[in-house]
Amino acid sequence: MLDYNTSHDGLLQLERDVLDSVVQKTSILEFYQVDKTPLGRGKYATVCRAVHKLTGTPYAAKFVKKRRRNQDQMKEIVHEIAVLMQCSATNRVIRLHEVYDSTTEMVLVLELAAGGELQHILDGGQCLSEPEARKAMKQILEGLSYLHDRNIAHLDLKPQNLLLSMVDNCDDIKLCDFGISKVLKPGVTVREILGTVDYVAPEVLSYDPICLSTDIWSVGVLAYVLLSGFSPFGADDKQQTFLNISKCALSFEPEHFHDVSGDAINFIKSALIVDPRQRPSVHELLDHPWISLKANIVATPALKTCEVAALTTTTSPSTPISQRKNFSSSSPTKSTTNKDFQTISNGLNASPVRTYTVTANCLICSQCGTTCRHLSQHHPSPVAKSTITVDRGILC
């Protein structure tokens, strides 16, 4: 029986004897052949493919620095280990195999997902068909329900933290990366700025208490992205993105949602509510008609190529949305005509005006999962990708 304790900052702790029994006090290189080319790299962690020398079994080795900005991070690393240990009974969370301790790093040996990140499908200029998106969201909710039943909030749900067991196949999705997750026990208030720009919830931006429903907001953003290839709130700069999130300036452009069912759109709307107390629980979302197979969804190919256009955003917070430019992805350089669209603002009286200008094709950033908003093709220095991320409470 594992002995878990929770500190007031929402971090799980392991008793010293339990931690000592888990961590190997030797080099990972004694038992594994570690690839020099990483599978992925972050500011404070690197993931490499590692093959066990005796069994030949491939794993993912996550090298996590013990110190960041001259501060000890062992509490956070132990928390991630403890969360993974608590989730060992579900197949919707990546499995922890072993842990190694070195002078400057802790190495978490994890189950290797052959299909890589869900983000890779989006990077290829594809989004999911509605049946595939529904299947993916159901699995994500199953993993999230396991966490929430144990009062664990993931707090960084996004396509690159969702792993595929099979290449280009969403039949088996697993949640990963619990580096900023929190355990939210009754009576304990946790306030912290964390998450990834396009997926962060309004209460995080306003420094209100984090709750399990903070993940539900990210679920709504994920569903929107998987169905359209766009971030619902993304803008040219993070300040405007944050304003769009705070106002819930949400719309469903016919260009990208004309073949999406009403149940799917209702699912997204139900999750993207500014007041976290009004959002459904993960179990209520699992019972939603779109997820519970009560929805009437016409079968379409598993993947569809997204006809994505980049958007340039301007704002006028005092004026509600009344017009948007309708853009043609098949001919992005042509001028467009105006159409009126109803804006969903979840009861807010005013939303920022966002004027969309068609430019070049948009990609989704492989570093942070946000939808890139490219500069105009007439801009003297057009950019290829956005790399806006949030790392452990730092908005960068």
Q: Which two tokens stand for residue 327?
A: 């853009």
Pairing between β-strand 96-101 and β-strand 23-24 as defined by DSSP bridges: parallel
Q: Which two tokens stand for residue 332?
A: 């992005």
Is residue 37 exposed (0-12), middle (13-18) or buried (19+ Cβ within 10 Å)?
exposed
- Distance between CA atoms of 38 and 36, rounded to whole angstroms? 6
Out of 101, 156, 215, 391, the active site residue is 156
The reply to whether 287 belongs to the active site is no
Task: For residue 23, give every residue at least 6 positions away whose Cβ sits within 8 Å of its Cβ, in sequence order, or none.
Answer: 99, 100, 101, 106
Q: Which of 320, 348, 325 is nearest to 335 (CA)?
A: 325
What does DSSP assign to residue 11?
Answer: -
Pairing between β-strand 71-72 and β-strand 67-68 as defined by DSSP bridges: antiparallel
The answer to whether residues 295 and 130 touch, using CB atoms and an 8 Å cutoff, is no
Q: Which two tokens stand for residue 176?
A: 């990963």
Q: Which two tokens stand for residue 386?
A: 């956005």
Binding residues: 66
- Distance between CA atoms of 231 and 218, rounded to whole angstroms? 11
Residue that the structure tokens 């396991």 belong to: 146
Binding residues for ATP: 66
Residues involved in catalysis: 156
